[in-house]
Chain A
Amino acid sequence: MSRIGIVSIYTLQEVRRDRLFWGFVPLMLFVIAFTFFMRETSIVAGAEAFNRSYIALTALAAAVFIVLLVVSSMYREIDSKAIFMVITKPIARHEYILGKFIAFSLISLGIIMISFAGAFILGVGPAKPLAVHYILCLFEQLVMIMAALAITLGLRSLPSSILGVAGFYIIGHSTKKMVDIGMNMASAWVPAIKVFYYLFPSLSLFSAQAAVLEQGTVSWTDILFPVGYAALYLAVLFLIIVIDIRKRDF
């Protein structure tokens, strides 16, 4: 087995022992319960409220869960010095990062598949738009995993890392809106806002929510651009991590 594979398996075993990992079950139960609650709060559009809530909450819960898992796992490894056990072995640091990334990506894939199956069973929308939406969600999660790895390895503090990743997620979802608001309200600030726009990822691209809720047309090619974009941003984050940790002794 390759060194990357070994790191992945080691990470998965560590995650399995983490109590946070099993928090996924109550989290999903809460999401489903809250979705049913939202349906009851609407007077005239119960089904729509249900579908909207499910789509939004599963994406949010999956992102929060995987980010917490990555940050806590990485932080614990750095804090307990367990990371020395790995990086002192004949393994390149980029292999270590890739191993970690693959392990968390597999967990994310599992979460997305469960969310998709739930959406399909509960009749949230037609199968094809749902599949496209959740594939896009998976790529958003991959970007978030790599960002969480970069931020945790950079900051090495649990609260700062969580705040940093949360900020990354929020800014990533609002870059376009920030520019639009700036254009209308404070055009002098637009160049400054554009720095965020070009540096942070545009996470809003990873969604087909409108197609699911309005039963609009969606094709498999709608995935191609976001996938290419995600691959590019993953490469950016990976390079940042490699440059950052190449001579770090943690």
Chain B
Amino acid sequence: MPAKKDIFKKVLLPCALLILLVLHAFLVDVGWKGSETKNQYKVVPKLNLPWMKFISLDQDRFASLLLSLYLLSARPVDCYEWDYKGMLNYMRVITRLDPYNKGPFFFAVYFMSYRTDSDGRLIFNYLEEAQDKFPDDWKLPWQVSYVAKIKFKDNDLAYQYALKAANAPYAPPIVKILPAILKRNLGDRESAVAYLTTLRDHSKDPKEIEPIDEELQRLSRGSLPK
């Protein structure tokens, strides 16, 4: 019996240890693969200098340049995914310190609209702040409307932003008729016609009236150009 016990201790225990270590190596791989497939936003591009130029140099403002360096230093270094809440906090710091810097808002539209989960939707709260600062700007709501429609597939939100863009002064005719186009694509021809008719009644510019008439004719024909 003692010999048997000795074999157990000398041979079986080290063998069991080896088997457990092999199993451990297997589980380590499975565990990390599992966590990587669960986190679908694992690999995203890092913040880099060309993007910073986009924020800083669009307005030729020294403050913007300086603040973009702040953003650069505050970036989540080599992270696997962006922390949207943290990023937006930094963006808000920039817009508080330099209230008329549109760069961060455009940055949010272009580079933070890849994620369409609840975190991704946070950019819309941030972009609402741009509306208060730049009520006459049509470019930003127009682009947000595009992002809402194409990336978030949210037609209502796209319509709301399209309406904001259309109501801004100096919006080009194509932007002015955008809400009608969105309504038409949703199959709501009545609202599209009502919107265009009202717009035509209040417009005196022939350059505006022409595309409105074209769109009204399309609606009456029932054709749906893409």
Q: Is A9 an interface residue (CB 8 A)?
A: no
Q: Is A236 an interface residue (CB 8 A)?
A: yes
Say whether A239 contacts B93, CB under 8 Å.
no
Q: Which of A73-81, A96-104, A120-128, A227-235 contacts B (4 or more CB under 8 A)?
A: A227-235
Residues in chain B near residue A229, CB distance under 8 A: 24, 27-28, 31
Residues in chain B near residue A214, CB distance under 8 A: 85, 119
Q: Is B191 an interface residue (CB 8 A)?
A: no
Q: Is A246 an interface residue (CB 8 A)?
A: yes
Say whether B32 contacts A176, CB under 8 Å.
yes
Question: By DSSP majority rule, is chain B's interface helix, strand, loop, or mixed?
Answer: helix
| Residue with the highest number of chain A CB atoms closer than 10 Å, among B13, B20, B86 | B20
Tell me, in angstroms, the Cα distance from A197 to B27 when the chains sit together. 11
Q: Given that A44-B93, A243-B14 are contacting pairs, would A232 and B9 also be in contact in the complex, using a CB cutoff of 8 Å?
A: no
Say whether A243 contacts B17, CB under 8 Å.
yes
Tell me, in angstroms, the Cα distance from A225 to B85 when the chains sit together. 29
Which residue from chain A places its CB closest to the CB of B119 in the assembled complex? Answer: A214
Q: Is B174 an interface residue (CB 8 A)?
A: no
On chain B, the number of residues with a Cβ less than 8 Å from chain A's Cβ atoms is: 24
Say whether B23 contacts A232, CB under 8 Å.
yes
Say whether A242 contacts B24, CB under 8 Å.
no
- Give B19 Cβ to nearest chain A Cβ, in Å: 10
Question: By DSSP majority rule, is chain A's interface helix, strand, loop, or mixed?
Answer: helix
Q: Given that A44-B89, A45-B86, A205-B35 are contacting pairs, would A228 and B27 also be in contact in the complex, using a CB cutoff of 8 Å?
A: yes
Q: Is A48 an interface residue (CB 8 A)?
A: yes
- Give B193 Cβ to nearest chain A Cβ, in Å: 43
Q: Is B92 an interface residue (CB 8 A)?
A: yes
Say whether A198 contacts B25, CB under 8 Å.
yes
Q: Is A199 an interface residue (CB 8 A)?
A: yes
Q: Is A87 an interface residue (CB 8 A)?
A: no
Chain B residues close to A by CB (< 8 Å):
9, 13-14, 16-17, 20-21, 23-25, 27-28, 30-32, 34-35, 85-86, 89-90, 92-93, 119
Chain A residues close to B by CB (< 8 Å):
43-45, 48, 175-176, 197-199, 201-202, 205, 214, 225-226, 228-229, 232-233, 235-236, 239-240, 242-243, 246
Q: What are 21 pairs between A and B in contact, CB < 8 Å?
A: A45-B85, A45-B89, A48-B85, A48-B86, A176-B32, A198-B21, A198-B25, A201-B24, A202-B31, A205-B31, A205-B32, A205-B35, A214-B119, A225-B31, A225-B34, A229-B24, A229-B28, A229-B31, A236-B21, A239-B17, A243-B14
> Across chains A and B, which 7 residue pairs bring their CB atoms closest together, nearest first?
A198-B25, A239-B17, A44-B89, A236-B20, A45-B89, A229-B27, A205-B31
